[in-house]
Amino acid sequence: MTNAGALENAAPRDDRQHTDHGLERKQQLLDAAAELFADRGYAATRVVDICASAGVAKGLFYWYFPTKGALFAELVRTMRLRLRRAQGDVLDPTADAVTRIANGAEASVRFMADHAAYFALLDVERSDPEFADVLDEGAGVYLDDVRRLVEEGQRAGDIADAPSSLVAVGVLGAVSSFSNSYRNGRLGDNVTVDDLATFVRRWVTNALT
């Protein structure tokens, strides 16, 4: 925690020239870190643990990443891109707003179930001030997406009148709550991803109208 809240200086990095093998090695570190973070939390995972898990010496870590926090940030950004793509894959511009919201919610739930480790990670550091920026930077975008859809649905009369930001929070909250509970096994073993996905779809649709 040398200088909190300032990991944007990861941007003007002296961008190294990585070989293919280098990029592969870097990915190994990212993967190892993601798993360890998810298991034990960010703070409880030492840099040396990540390296051990990837089978390399500690010093090598700093060849690929300027700081521990920078790796985390990179992990977050990667994850966000993938989620966004997953959501885009179910985009159907011809459908009505409620359906599109439900589609997005369902896709998100499935994606989060598939990448449980990654999202456990997000969960962990939500409120660490050091990462507030990187984390919020994304949250707002999704919120806006959903809010726009909500307003569209309200104009069409499919969604009850209420502050659109409230409704959007409700949708996003439902997705993350269900995903969390599923990931933590709080739902029992007899609930499959498909069960969850269809349930979330119905839950959100009900709540909206």
Q: Cβ atoms within 10 A of the Cβ of 32, count?
A: 19
User: Cβ closer to its own copies: 34 or 204?
Assistant: 204
Look at residue 123 and give the partner it binds from its own copies, DNA, none, a contact being a CB closer than 5 to 8 Å depending on partner kind. Answer: its own copies
Q: How far is CA 70 from CA 51, 132, 163, in A?
A: 15, 13, 37
Look at residue 141 and give the partner it binds from DNA, its own copies, none, a contact being a CB closer than 5 to 8 Å depending on partner kind. Answer: none
CB of 169 to its own copies, least distance (A): 4
What gap in Å lies between CA 58 and CA 48, rounded to an integer? 5
Q: Cβ atoms within 10 A of the Cβ of 51, count?
A: 19
User: Which of these, 112, 121, 115, 135, lies nearest to 45 by C-alpha position?
Assistant: 121
Burial of 35 from C-beta contacts in 10 A (0-12 / 13-18 / 19+): middle
Query: Residues 145 to 174: which contact its own copies by CB under 8 A?
Result: 160, 162-163, 165-166, 169-170, 172-174
User: Cβ closer to its own copies: 67 or 181?
Assistant: 181
Which of 13, 16, 155, 202 lies at the binding interface for DNA (CB under 7 A)? 16
CB of 133 to DNA, least distance (A): 16
User: Cβ closer to DNA: 57 or 162?
Assistant: 57
Look at residue 59 and give the partner it binds from DNA, its own copies, none, a contact being a CB closer than 5 to 8 Å depending on partner kind. Answer: DNA
When asked if residue 127 is in the footprint of its own copies (CB under 8 A), the reply is yes
When asked if residue 6 is in the footprint of its own copies (CB under 8 A), the reply is no
Query: Residues 63 to 102: which contact its own copies by CB under 8 A?
Result: none
Which of 56, 96, 143, 152 lies at the binding interface for its own copies (CB under 8 A)? 143
Find out whether 146 and 101 touch, Cβ atoms under 8 Å.
Answer: yes
The residue written with tokens 């293919």 in the block is 20
When asked if residue 45 is in the footprint of DNA (CB under 7 A), the reply is yes
Look at residue 47 and give the partner it binds from its own copies, DNA, none, a contact being a CB closer than 5 to 8 Å depending on partner kind. Answer: DNA
CB of 183 to DNA, least distance (A): 24
